[in-house]
Amino acid sequence: MARPSSAARKGLEKHSVPAKTTITLHVNGVERKLAVAPWTTLLDALRLYLDLPATKQGCDHGQCGACTVLLDGRRVYSCLTLAVMKDGAQVTTIEGLAQGSTLHPLQQAFIEHDAFQCGYCTPGQICSAAGLIAEGKARTADEIRELMSGNICRCGAYPNIVAAIQDVMSGRATGKLREAKR
């Protein structure tokens, strides 16, 4: 679906009754203030207002997981989250996982295991995997698969996604393959 032009968006907002609310989000460790309408999702706030487009819009209905971010440390679907309800929250997106030029272990493991093809679901997969590891409920491959079922991969990279996550969970990651290739 084509995104409305900014003029069209402004037109829409001019006719809306409720005023915008100014909220503060702590996004990837940076305090960001923004004015949002009640119906602005966290996904739209990140992509359209905060210039953080790496979080992807997939189904926009909470069925695919592409929009997964960490909200106050827990993985959620940003497409089904209203930004106005999350004033003051900590948000981590895929843009916030690397430390400078050093990739997050999950990012590195996804590269090493070829855990994606088109890459569209990958930001959501990696944020979801970060949430999974923080939860500490998955130990076996079966449990990883079950607790990652909220992230759909159209290319079918599931076996490599599970292997990448297992590597990070077991502390086998990261950089081994990179070292070996030198």
- Which residues here bind another protein, judged by CB under 8 A? 16-18, 21, 37-39, 41, 60-62, 65, 68, 74-77, 80-82, 84-85, 128, 131-132, 135, 137, 140, 142-143, 145-151
Nearer to another protein, 71 or 108 (CB): 71
Nearer to another protein, 71 or 164 (CB): 71
CA distances from 8 to 13, 55, 93, 144 (A): 9, 23, 28, 43
Nearer to another protein, 4 or 18 (CB): 18
Nearer to another protein, 81 or 174 (CB): 81
Nearer to another protein, 3 or 137 (CB): 137
Alpha-carbon span 161 to 116, nearest angstrom: 7
User: What's the min distance (Å) between Cβ of 139 and another protein?
Assistant: 9
Nearer to another protein, 50 or 83 (CB): 83
Alpha-carbon span 78 to 94, nearest angstrom: 13
Residue 17 token pair: 């009754």
User: What's the min distance (Å) between Cβ of 162 and another protein?
Assistant: 13
Alpha-carbon span 160 to 27, nearest angstrom: 29
Pairing of strands 30-36, 21-27: antiparallel
User: What's the min distance (Å) between Cβ of 181 and another protein?
Assistant: 34
Alpha-carbon span 70 to 77, nearest angstrom: 9
Alpha-carbon span 133 to 119, nearest angstrom: 21
Alpha-carbon span 110 to 17, nearest angstrom: 46
User: What's the min distance (Å) between Cβ of 182 and another protein?
Assistant: 37
User: What's the min distance (Å) between Cβ of 41 and another protein?
Assistant: 8
User: What's the min distance (Å) between Cβ of 93 and another protein?
Assistant: 14
Residue 18, classed as helix, strand or coil, is: coil
